[in-house]
Structure 1
Amino acid sequence: MNIAQNAAASREAAAAVGMVLAWHAAQDPDRPAIISGAGRRSYGELNARANQLVRALRRAGLQAGDAVALLCSNRPEFVEVVSACQRGGFRLTPVNWHLKGSEIGYIVDNCEAKAFIADVRFAGNATEAASMAPAVQARLAVGGEIPGFVSYDDVVSPEAHHDLDDPVLGTQMMYTSGTTGYPKGVFRREAPPVAPLQVKLAETAQFRPGEDMALVTGPLYHAAPLALNLVFPLNAGVGCVLMDKWDAEETLRLVEEYGVTHTHVVPTMLHRMLSLPSEVRSKYDSSSLRWILHGAAPCPAHVKQNSIEWFGPVVFEYYAATEGGGVFVESEEWLTKPGTVGRALPGVELVVVNDAGEPSAANEVGTIYFKAPAQGRFEYFKAPEKTEGAYRGDHFTMGDMGYLDEDGFLFLTGRSAEVIISGGVNIYPVEIDEEILKHPAVFDVAAVGVPNEEWGEEIKAVVQLKEGVAPSEELKQELLAFAAERLPGYKRPRSVDFTDDLPRMPSGKIVRRAVRDRYWQGDKKI
């Protein structure tokens, strides 16, 4: 075995017990690991703090298998907790800090957290949440004082910082960002095998430790930013720049300042960067970018096309979710099939099922199912009825709809709960959104079905205009005419409403159900 093989083997052995960051720290302790407005950490510093935090949590009574809930903004302490859980054998649940205190409390209690670590920025909600989770043994406050919590720094700093003698690989249990009811914990009783999507991501990312830099664009409590913006590059030896709040121009500025090579975004981010004035876009050098990954929501074809023209053939797309999946497409292949999210990777079984429960024909819309792996299948934590509803035999669905073309490329059309049914015809709003987004006055749009006595539902386009564009009756008529030129009659909006903003999940997805429900409940304000 040569030196490179020895190094790879030792790295894999370290990763198997959650110590891959320790391995990188041993190679180059001064290499930047985290850069943020709230502080920086080298690999050596991050590794030391992770060791200290594990010892502090053990001192508080936590053991391998116990749960840790984390309510924290994008700052170094978030990464310290992730790294500590990775090697301490703890099950980490990052919590969406956009939720209300009672909703946070539900998750902290539901995940059976023994430790609750909270950012002072969310002190009020953290206090309310803690009162709902009596099983919590350790409450640690990051960045300041929270009533009923002890200082994170005071608890961590006295502990020894050398590597653990007995590391245990930890796990994560993310909660789905559902639009109705309480979120569900995605739980696995055993680790699944390395997924084909993980292999493909590594092949295309081609990380160069010590040279590359990744940019974290989204909130780390969300599954995709945590896995793809942070853990993926960090475990490969690539440092990460953390954005506290996403902004289109600030993204470009950070890319230039730090020579960012890798990032993960959602389609809304691409759209908003493309919407920047040309003089702003040309002000920054983005040529360092070699890998821009996106997913989470359907990307309008013209947005993807323009992104590839701007950044080059470095835009990669995946379709998957917390529950699993594995569809992928590179820029060159996408250009031959505009609008696709790719083909199922080798080892991934995908089927589209029509309303009759049969596999759909080519180009026939249906519900998308993936075959679950034999090992490490997900279940919804303490919710067997919800788990059962997600599976169809050995296959599971996230509720998305789409179709496979004759070459096996997948196209998304929306979610089953978003379908507009007008006169008995299924209409998929994503197709309508995509055309209206091409109008120069439109910043974003959500097409929804609203009540119609004759047809059941009719299509309404709820439009957010670009900054500086004033809403008017004339513009409504212009947008209707614009849509009529591009869409067949049954897909054309019958009306347009303007709104200052559209409700979104933290991932950037528009919560179309929230837009739609206002019209069915008699409240037309968005």
Structure 2
Amino acid sequence: MTDDAQPTPGIDPSWVDEVLLAGPADQVALVFEAPVTRAELRRLISAKQSVLAAAGLGRGGSVALCLAPSLAFVTNLLAAWRLGARAALLDHRLTAYEVDNALQRLAPQVVVTAKHVTGGPLRGFVEIEERIATYPGRPADTAHALIQLSSGSTGPSKVIARTAANLVEEVERYVKIGAGVPQGGERIVSLASMVHVLGLVGGLLYGLHAGAQFVVPARMTADGILSTVAAGPEPTTLLGVPFHIELLSSVQTPMKLPQLTGMTTGGELVRAEVYGGFVDRYGIRLGNMYGMTEVGVIATDLFGEHRPSLTPAPGLTVREEAGELLVSLPASPYLGLVDPARWADGWLHTKDAGSVEESTGRMRIHGRRDSQVSVGGLKVDLTEVEHTLAALPGVASAVVTFDKAIEAYVMLRDGATSAQVQERLAERLAGFKRPRVLKVVEQLPRTATGKLVRDRAALLAAAATDAAPAIPAAISAAIPGQRAGQDVTDGATDLVAPAPVKEGNR
């Protein structure tokens, strides 16, 4: 470790060894192309430390990582933290223009990118030869260990910072949740991106702390995911987002997987019909997790016992104020000027409409606060309209927005028509709730984490390709936003060009 840089108060690298890397030397910690034991992982991290230190990174320094899911990503991140540096994570799917803008904004001293990548489309991970370069940036001026640009579908750009203590606290929340969370000796097969909070903390960091193997499938296809589960005898939990459920639900006859004990998803709530189909097909628990990049996991229902309600994670307080959910958070998670509409007086404003049951403390999310609009003096919840539309036969996926009138953007399955959709929707929604404009698109834009984008400009751009063909049912049933021969993944090299990462939380 180098001590050339003036240490930033609060950045203590000891937590990496104490919380993440402790454990038996021969215990398998990670599985990418091959198993990696804890002893091997510690050796690889030490080697990366030397390389990063030679580039000038030391305690109190700052580094930006722009790497695809890989062993290189893991070792560079942990090496940076072990040096006592602050690490900023940039999604590898960003364009060069977006990366350059992010670097100018974050001003790291060192930048790690991919010089050479081995691995084709649909890969869950790749092999990377890194390029480590100095950058005219500055040392960390705060005690934060992690910087993330949240990749939501709405909201302004936000730089989110978390200390090592914040990360350790979240890891401990997973420990305290208990039942439904993978235990030591089990496996986490992660389909979620390690650049984002679910895959990073809920998968990688928690797995290292708990002694659960963190496994990434070689291929992010339904067969590839199930084959990865079948490759080991240990009890296994899948970690992903709703479109992974739809992908796995497309398998006609799933292989028998006695070791598959459950699946946990973050992001949007799984639609009832999708939830039921998955549980019936695989016969396992399907749990939901609600969280934000700013704080990590907030609430869970890991056994589907209280759908659509969730129980706040241990140590967090959630309350309702004027129909909005607020989460207790002692300090602002944002770098730069703090918007009191996002954080104030120890409370994080989620911007989610919701309610909290007084008797149980459980919370329920009703949608975005900005999803409620007035039509002719009558209140309409766009989330209700969107869910109703997406559940119609022939609709693969849908997004509903409002601009003087309710607008809908839909992907259709093979054989379906917009006239059929409008007819069926008339049976289910009152006239004032129904979209006045319905546009059929070939592909709905999504964020890097697979969430549907609700920005009207992006949706209009998608709709500009008029007369888009309907999606074959076998493909669209697998996953929304997919065309024949393509697969959308959260963290893999994509054939589908992702929508620009909009740094918000939804």
Query: Does the Cα contact within 8 Å between 1:313 and 1:331 map onto a contact in 2?
Result: no
Report the CA distance between 1:509 and its aligned residue: 0.8
Query: Does the Cα contact within 8 Å between 2:154 and 2:453 map onto a contact in 1?
Result: no
Equivalent of 1:372 in 325, 329, 341? 329
1:251 aligns with 2:198: no
Distance in structure 2 (CA, Å) of the matches to 1:392 and 1:170: 19
* 1:463 alignment partner in structure 2: 410
* 2:429 alignment partner in structure 1: 487
Query: Does the Cα contact within 8 Å between 2:176 and 2:314 map onto a contact in 1?
Result: no
Cα distance per residue 1:1-49 (max 9 Å; x no partner): xxxxxxxxxxxx997353445422xx243x4333335x65332221101
Equivalent of 2:105 in 105, 110, 113? 110
**CA 1:424/1:403 → structure 2, altered by over 3 Å: closer, same or farther?**
farther
Query: Does the Cα contact within 8 Å between 2:182 and 2:236 map onto a contact in 1?
Result: no
**CA 1:88/1:14 → structure 2, altered by over 3 Å: closer, same or farther?**
closer
Equivalent of 1:394 in 317, 327, 346? 346
* 1:155 alignment partner in structure 2: none
Report the CA distance between 1:179 and its aligned residue: 4.7
Distance in structure 1 (CA, Å) of the matches to 2:130 and 2:313: 48
Distance in structure 2 (CA, Å) of the matches to 1:170 and 1:495: 46
* 1:320 alignment partner in structure 2: 291
Distance in structure 2 (CA, Å) of the matches to 1:403 and 1:487: 24
3-state SS, counterpart of residue 248 of structure 2: helix
Report the CA distance between 1:216 and its aligned residue: 2.0
1:416 aligns with 2:381: no
Cα distance per residue 1:466-518 (max 9 Å; x no partner): 4xx145xxx22222232233334433334432212111112211011246762
Cα distance per residue 1:205-244 (max 9 Å; x no partner): 24132xx222121222122111112221133222222246
* 2:473 alignment partner in structure 1: none
Equivalent of 2:183 in 207, 210, 220? 207
Q: Which has the higher helix share?
A: 1
Which letter maps to 1:64? R
Return the TM-score normalized by structure 1: 0.73
Report the CA distance between 1:121 and its aligned residue: 5.6
* 1:173 alignment partner in structure 2: 147
Query: Does the Cα contact within 8 Å between 1:446 and 1:461 map onto a contact in 2?
Result: yes
Report the CA distance between 1:448 and its aligned residue: 2.1
* 1:339 alignment partner in structure 2: 308
1:45 aligns with 2:13: no
Q: Within 5 A, what are the aligned runs for 1:147-162? A: 149=133
**CA 1:277/1:215 → structure 2, altered by over 3 Å: closer, same or farther?**
closer
Cα distance per residue 1:442-481 (max 9 Å; x no partner): 221112224xxxxx312x3322234xx145xxx2222223
* 1:352 alignment partner in structure 2: 320
Provide the aligned C-alpha RMSD in A: 3.4
Equivalent of 1:271 in 225, 238, 246? 246
Distance in structure 1 (CA, Å) of the matches to 2:445 and 2:225: 22
Cα distance per residue 1:377-403 (max 9 Å; x no partner): 233212x144x3312432111322223
3-state SS, counterpart of residue 512 of structure 1: coil
Which letter maps to 1:143? I
Query: Does the Cα contact within 8 Å between 1:271 and 1:303 map onto a contact in 2?
Result: yes
* 2:257 alignment partner in structure 1: 286
Distance in structure 1 (CA, Å) of the matches to 2:162 and 2:251: 46
Query: Does the Cα contact within 8 Å between 1:197 and 1:328 map onto a contact in 2?
Result: no
Distance in structure 1 (CA, Å) of the matches to 2:442 and 2:130: 36
Equivalent of 2:114 in 90, 112, 119? 119
Distance in structure 2 (CA, Å) of the matches to 1:352 and 1:431: 20
Report the CA distance between 1:144 and its aligned residue: 4.4
Distance in structure 2 (CA, Å) of the matches to 1:522 and 1:294: 29
Distance in structure 2 (CA, Å) of the matches to 1:327 and 1:95: 26
Return the TM-score normalized by structure 2: 0.76
Distance in structure 1 (CA, Å) of the matches to 2:212 and 2:423: 49
Report the CA distance between 1:318 and its aligned residue: 1.9
**CA 1:55/1:188 → structure 2, altered by over 3 Å: closer, same or farther?**
same
Report the CA distance between 1:189 and its aligned residue: 5.8
Query: Does the Cα contact within 8 Å between 1:205 and 1:291 map onto a contact in 2?
Result: no
Cα distance per residue 1:261-299 (max 9 Å; x no partner): 02211112212322x1523xx2x2233222421122222
3-state SS, counterpart of residue 191 of structure 1: helix
* 2:275 alignment partner in structure 1: 304
**CA 1:494/1:329 → structure 2, altered by over 3 Å: closer, same or farther?**
same
- Identity, in percent, stands at 20
Query: Does the Cα contact within 8 Å between 1:177 and 1:505 map onto a contact in 2?
Result: yes
Distance in structure 2 (CA, Å) of the matches to 1:322 and 1:427: 29
* 1:438 alignment partner in structure 2: 391
* 1:477 alignment partner in structure 2: 419
Distance in structure 2 (CA, Å) of the matches to 1:321 and 1:397: 11
Aligned length: 435
More deviation, 403-412/430-439: 403-412
**CA 1:329/1:204 → structure 2, altered by over 3 Å: closer, same or farther?**
same
Which letter maps to 1:430? T
Cα distance per residue 1:42-81 (max 9 Å; x no partner): 3222110101212332233222222221111111111111
3-state SS, counterpart of residue 278 of structure 1: coil
**CA 1:61/1:261 → structure 2, altered by over 3 Å: closer, same or farther?**
same
More deviation, 233-242/179-188: 179-188
Query: Does the Cα contact within 8 Å between 1:64 and 1:90 map onto a contact in 2?
Result: yes
Cα distance per residue 1:304-345 (max 9 Å; x no partner): 2333333445222221111126222132522xxx333x0324
Query: Does the Cα contact within 8 Å between 1:418 and 1:513 map onto a contact in 2?
Result: no
* 2:499 alignment partner in structure 1: none
* 2:17 alignment partner in structure 1: 18
**CA 1:245/1:92 → structure 2, altered by over 3 Å: closer, same or farther?**
farther
Extract unaligned runs of 5+ from structure 2.
1-11, 119-126, 135-142, 469-506
**CA 1:348/1:488 → structure 2, altered by over 3 Å: closer, same or farther?**
farther
Bigger Rg over Cα: 1
